[in-house]
Each structure stands twice: as structure tokens, then as C-alpha cells.
């Protein structure tokens, strides 16, 4: 089943997947790998490493203007997947409260591979990105350097050969450097030994990766753990530490064992493309430098959230334009100290995620009685919006779907995942209905 509809919303391949037939006409080197069916649709065997390699080269040239050389016996990147990761990193960096808007975003790419793919995509999507890309393998290092040189990117991408005697992945770079890095990215080697590599047939089948690329002591989990342990020393030297996992089991274990402990701010993302999924995990030791309301929810997560929702209760918001109606609702929610985040928004519809921290819509006296009754447990002491936002213990969370039905009428549908909160949510909707009927 194709997962393309869960791709990052800015991924150019989301609604426009590569047309293999067209591509093989523009790039004759790709032609041998394309089979055309009776309907004229092109197919590529992704289990053939040469086809994957040629496709990567063609897409990097056609869609990004890069000329890239890739060795036969090393990993070739799948471009839609790598672009998903870089776009997510861009979102995470956008959530950092910056002193200057044109500030350089200095990023470390641990194990850049022969293609140097993340830095190439990064500087394309945001020219303010600037990379230090490390590589331990001599062949990969030579190719990565060549790919940077021949695309005239030496001023924004520095490829560094890692001496195998150096046991750290980040520290030696950060501590030797006077300029601050914002973030690190990493697609770690997957496997712990040749046997595990062989046993993971599916993941391995299309992969031309050499053993040095695919195998590392302790596998991806230990590699990730090394980055985590270094982050505990480096702390705020970087704002975000990020990793992409190829195995769900490693992702889940890592999340539980390290970043799920609430002492760090963390967030996850699913990179969906074709029939494969990869998992991104980011954490930060400096939550104060991040606007958490800007941390993105992956399309996969928002889809799963809405799937399990209660039957919605709805009402119409009278408004001349969709944007005015949406902004009016957001302002009313803000006045009620309800935290709301627009997850998806286009001209005629929007999906808003929201959390209530106190039943601010219940009348003053009633609320006082309710507080007494509840033993003050969930009540935010500071009654301001800021106070509510600081609390990370909402009394309930809900979703709002806005949809412009006809001129001047926007249908607002409220639903919640936790059915025990339906009554509280209904109370809020009654209150909102009353406000809108007065306006």
C-alpha cells in the first residue's frame, strides 16, 4: 500500500510522484531500468541497486539541478525519503526562537554517505542552512567531497573525514568550533553484524550498502545511544538532536529508554514514501529556546488522531470569509485560555488541534464550586493564557474541523479522542454557540 499521502506536505513528490517513462526519455541512462506496461505506465524494480542509484542521480539532477556521482558498491539514497527528513528538520529549526531571521542554521550530518544527500537537499530548501558532514569511510568521503565540489557548494558544505581513532560522533566537532551549531541529523548504520543484516532480508534487498555503511557495533540503537550520551554533555550547544530510524523496534526502544523520560523535550515524525516508513526522533535540552506550538505533527499522526475521534458536534460560524471566521474562533479560544494549533489549513478547510486546561467557559461561581469538588488538581493557578500554555497537563484535548460550506457559513465540528471528555467538550460547544449567535 502506498503511503505517499502521508508524505511531508511540502515534499514535491507528494502529489507529483516521479514519472519514470518521462524520466527515461530525458535521461537515457535510466531507460534500461524502466518497464512500461500496456497502459503506458512505467515501473522500476526497487530491489535492483543499480536502478535505485540511477533514479537518485536523475532526480537530484532534474528536481534540484545537482550532478552527482555515486559508487556501485555503496548505499544510494531514496530522494523522497531524504527530502521528508530535511523538510521536518526545517520545520524543527523554524520552531527555534531566533534572534535574527537571517541567522545561519549550522547543521552536523553524521555519516553523510557518498551522495552527501542531506546537505545537498538542505541547502536547496533553505540557503541559510550550512553543513558539516562527517564520514568514516574513505570511498564515501571522496565521493561526498566530489559531489560538493562539482556543484559549487564548498562555501556552505564542509565534508570531514572521521579518523576511526576518534570515538565521539559530535563532541570533537562542537568543542573544536567557535560557531554554534543548531542541530544534528543522522541516518545511522542499521545492523549490528553480518548475520542480522542477512536476516533482515526485506530491508536489505534493495540495498547496495557496503558492510561499513550498514553495520556498526550494537546496530542503529547503540549508534543513537552514543549521540544521546554526547548530547547529555553538549546540552545546549545544539538546540535539536535528531535521528532517523530504519527499524521501528529500534525507534520504539530508543524512545522509551532515553527520550521518553520527560526530562527532555522530544518529538517524533513518520517519514512515509512508497511502501516504506522511517521514523524520525528529535530531542532538545533547551525547551526555552523552542516555540513548542510550532513543532509539527506528521501527516501520519494527524490522520491517526482523527480516525479514532468521537462523532463530531457541530455549529455554524457566521463570517464573510473563511479566514476571518477561523481567526475569530481562534481568538475566542485564546480568550478562554484554550491552546489551539492549526495543523492543516487551506482556502476552504482547516484542522485545528486544541487543549483545554481549565473549564474557563463554565460560569465563575460554578467554576469555583467545581474546583473545590475536583480538589484543584487540574486547575492552572495562573489564570492567564500564558499560565495555561505553560501547563502541560490539559484536562482534555479535542479536534476542530472547519469547513466553508456555503457563503458566509463555516461549519465547525468538534470531536475528541477520549470519549470520557465528551461532556466537557459539549459544554464548551454550547458556550461557543451562544457567543456566535450573539455576534
Dihedrals φ, ψ of 328, to 5°? -60, -45
> Least distance (Å) from ligand SAH to the CB of residue 168?
9
Asked if 107 and 89 count as a contact pair (C-beta separation under 8 A), the reply is yes
Q: How far apart, in whole angstroms, are the C-alpha atoms of residue 368 and residue 310?
A: 29
Specify the stretch interacting with ligand SAH by CB under 6 A; choose among 60-68, 132-140, 235-243, 302-310. 132-140
One of 84, 90, 112, 337 touching ligand SAH (CB under 6 A): 112
CA atoms within 13 A on the CB side of 148: 27
Specify the stretch interacting with ligand SAH by CB under 6 A; choose among 19-27, 58-66, 212-220, 275-283. 212-220
> Least distance (Å) from ligand SAH to the CB of residue 175?
16
Q: Which of 214, 218, 271, 245 has the alpha carbon at shortest distance from 87?
A: 271
One of 21, 98, 162, 395 touching ligand SAH (CB under 6 A): 162
139 part of the interface to ligand SAH, by CB under 6 A: no
Q: Give the DSSP H/E element, type plus range, for residue 405.
A: strand 396-406
429 part of the interface to ligand SAH, by CB under 6 A: no
Question: What is the total count of residues that contact ligand SAH (CB under 6 A)?
Answer: 21
212 part of the interface to ligand SAH, by CB under 6 A: yes
CB atoms inside a 10 Å sphere around CB 434: 11
One of 111, 246, 312, 353 touching ligand SAH (CB under 6 A): 111
> Least distance (Å) from ligand SAH to the CB of residue 157?
13
Specify the stretch interacting with ligand SAH by CB under 6 A; choose among 10-18, 74-82, 396-404, 431-439. 74-82
> Least distance (Å) from ligand SAH to the CB of residue 216?
6
One of 91, 137, 358, 359 touching ligand SAH (CB under 6 A): 137
One of 87, 89, 136, 385 touching ligand SAH (CB under 6 A): 136
189 part of the interface to ligand SAH, by CB under 6 A: yes
Query: For 384, which DSSP code?
Result: S
One of 18, 49, 80, 113 touching ligand SAH (CB under 6 A): 113
170 part of the interface to ligand SAH, by CB under 6 A: no
Q: How far apart, in whole angstroms, are the C-alpha atoms of residue 237 and residue 226?
A: 16
Tell me the β-bridge partners of 412: 315, 402
Q: How far apart, in whole angstroms, are the C-alpha atoms of residue 404 and residue 240?
A: 38
Dihedrals φ, ψ of 400, to 5°? -125, 125
Q: How far apart, in whole angstroms, are the C-alpha atoms of residue 215 and residue 196?
A: 9
Q: What share of the chain is helix, strand, coil (3-state, %, to 5)?
A: 45, 20, 35
110 part of the interface to ligand SAH, by CB under 6 A: yes
Dihedrals φ, ψ of 267, to 5°? -150, 155
Can you give the binding site for ligand SAH, defined by CB under 6 A? 75, 77, 82, 110-113, 117-118, 134-137, 140, 162, 169, 187, 189, 212-213, 216
Amino acid at each position: 500500500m502506498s503511503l505517499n499521502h502521508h508524505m511531508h506536505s511540502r515534499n514535491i513528490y507528494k502529489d507529483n510522484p516521479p514519472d519514470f517513462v518521462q524520466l527515461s526519455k530525458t535521461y537515457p541512462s535510466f531507460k534500461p531500468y524502466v518497464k512500461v506496461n500496456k497502459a503506458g505506465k512505467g515501473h522500476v524494480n526497487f530491489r535492483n541497486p543499480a536502478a535505485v542509484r540511477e533514479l537518485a542521480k536523475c532526480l537530484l539532477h532534474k528536481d534540484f539541478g545537482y550532478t552527482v556521482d555515486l559508487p556501485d558498491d555503496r548505499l544510494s539514497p531514496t530522494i523522497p525519503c531524504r527530502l521528508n527528513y530535511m523538510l521536518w528538520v526545517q520545520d524543527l529549526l523554524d520552531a527555534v526562537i531566533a534572534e535574527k531571521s537571517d541567522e545561519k542554521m549550522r547543521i552536523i550530518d553524521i555519516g553523510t554517505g557518498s551522495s552527501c544527500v542531506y546537505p545537498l537537499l538542505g541547502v536547496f530548501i533553505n540557503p541559510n542552512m550550512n553543513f558539516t558532514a562527517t564520514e568514516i569511510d574513505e570511498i564515501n568521503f571522496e565521493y561526498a567531497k566530489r559531489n560538493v565540489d562539482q556543484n559549487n557548494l564548498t562555501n556552505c558544505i564542509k565534508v570531514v573525514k572521521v579518523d576511526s581513532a576518534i570515538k565521539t560522533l559530535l563532541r570533537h566537532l562542537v568543542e573544536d568550533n567557535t560557531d554554534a551549531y543548531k542541530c544534528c541529523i543522522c541516518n545511522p548504520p542499521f545492523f549490528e553484524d553480518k548475520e542480522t543484516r542477512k536476516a533482515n532480508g526485506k530491508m536489505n534487498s534493495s540495498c547496495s550498502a557496503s558492510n561499513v555503511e550498514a553495520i556498526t557495533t550494537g546496530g542503529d540503537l547503540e549508534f543513537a545511544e552514543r549521540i544521546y550520551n554526547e548530547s547529555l554533555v553538549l546540552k545546549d550547544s545544539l538546540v535539536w538532536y535528531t535521528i532517523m530510524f530504519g527499524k521501528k523496534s529500534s525507534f520504539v526502544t530508543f524512545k522509551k529508554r532515553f527520550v521518553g523520560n520527560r526530562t527532555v523535550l522530544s518529538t517524533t515524525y513518520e517519514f512515509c514514501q512508497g511502501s516504506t516508513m522511517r521514523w524520525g526522533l528529535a530531542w532538545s535540552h533547551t525547551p526555552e529556546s523552542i516555540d513548542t506550538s510550532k513543532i509539527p505533527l506528521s501527516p501520519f499522526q494527524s490522520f491517526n488522531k482523527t480516525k479514532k475521534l468521537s462523532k463530531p458536534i457541530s455549529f455554524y460560524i457566521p463570517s464573510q470569509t473563511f479566514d476571518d471566521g477561523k481567526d475569530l474562533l481562534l481568538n475566542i479560544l485564546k480568550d478562554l485560555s484554550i491552546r489551539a494549533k492549526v495543523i492543516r489549513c487551506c482556502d476552504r478547510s482547516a484542522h485545528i488541534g486544541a487543549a483545554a486546561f481549565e473549564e474557563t467557559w463554565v460560569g465563575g461561581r460554578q467554576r469555583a464550586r467545581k474546583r473545590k469538588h475536583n480538589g484543584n488538581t487540574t486547575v492552572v493557578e495562573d489564570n492567564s493564557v500564558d499560565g495555561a500554555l505553560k501547563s502541560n497537563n490539559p484536562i482534555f484535548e479535542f479536534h476542530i474541523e472547519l469547513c466553508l460550506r456555503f457563503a458566509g457559513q463555516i461549519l465547525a465540528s468538534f470531536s475528541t479522542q477520549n470519549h470520557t471528555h465528551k461532556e466537557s467538550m459539549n459544554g464548551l460547544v454550547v458556550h461557543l454557540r451562544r457567543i456566535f449567535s450573539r455576534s
